[in-house]
C-alpha cells in the first residue's frame, strides 16, 4: 500500500459547485498534513496546513480524520481559477523534515 493515496481524477465540475477530495495515508504516526496546489508544469504552492480541529480559509476547508487516516479538502463555490492539481503531503514523526506527497487529484472547473 502506498504511503499516501489520492484519487487522480479528473473531477470535472461546473462553476459554483462544491467539490471534495480525500487523501488517505498509511502511517498512523504522521504528524503534519498539508494541501498544495500545482498548476500544469509549475511548482506546488502551499494551499493550507491541516489541523486536527479542522481549518477554513475562505472557500477552502481542510479536515483531518486520524481514526480513519485521511485528510480532506472541500472547495465551495468553485471558480474557473481553481482548476489545478491538488497534492496532499504529510510529515512522519521523528527525524528530519521529510514531506511525503500524494500523486495529486486533478480538478477541472468548467463554465
On whether the CB atoms of residues 90 and 29 are closer than 8 A, the answer is: no
**Alpha-carbon 24 to chain mean position:** 10
Residue 86 contacts other proteins per CB under 8 A: no
Question: Measured from the CB atom, is 64 or 78 closer to other proteins?
Answer: 64
- Considering the rule CB under 8 A, would residue 13 count as an interface residue with other proteins? no
Is residue 91 near other proteins by the rule CB under 8 A?
Answer: yes
Q: Which three cell numbers stand for residue 58?
A: 475562505
Judged by CB under 8 A, the residue of 1, 41, 67, 111 near other proteins is 41
14 binds other proteins (CB under 8 A): no
DSSP E strands, 4-52: 4-6, 11-14, 19-25, 32-38, 45-50
Burial of 54 (0-12, 13-18, 19+ CB in 10 A): middle
Binding mask 44-83 for other proteins (x = CB under 8 A): xxx--x----------------------------------
CA neighbor of 50 nearest in space, from 36, 37, 32: 32
Segment contacting other proteins (CB under 8 A): 14-22, 42-50, 56-64, 68-76? 42-50
In the complex, the residues that contact other proteins under the rule CB under 8 A are: 4, 8, 32, 34, 41-46, 49, 87, 89, 91, 96-104
Amino acid at each position: 500500500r502506498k504511503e499516501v493515496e489520492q484519487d487522480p481524477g479528473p473531477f470535472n465540475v461546473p462553476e459554483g459547485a462544491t467539490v471534495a477530495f480525500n487523501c488517505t495515508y498509511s502511517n498512523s504516526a504522521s504528524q503534519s498534513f498539508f494541501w498544495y496546489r500545482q498548476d500544469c508544469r509549475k511548482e506546488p504552492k502551499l494551499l493550507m496546513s491541516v489541523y486536527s480541529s479542522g481549518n477554513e480559509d475562505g472557500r477552502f476547508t481542510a479536515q483531518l480524520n486520524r481514526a480513519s487516516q485521511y485528510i480532506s479538502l472541500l472547495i465551495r463555490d468553485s471558480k474557473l481559477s481553481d482548476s489545478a492539481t491538488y497534492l496532499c503531503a504529510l510529515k512522519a514523526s521523528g527525524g528530519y523534515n521529510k514531506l511525503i506527497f500524494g500523486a495529486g487529484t486533478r480538478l477541472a472547473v468548467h463554465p
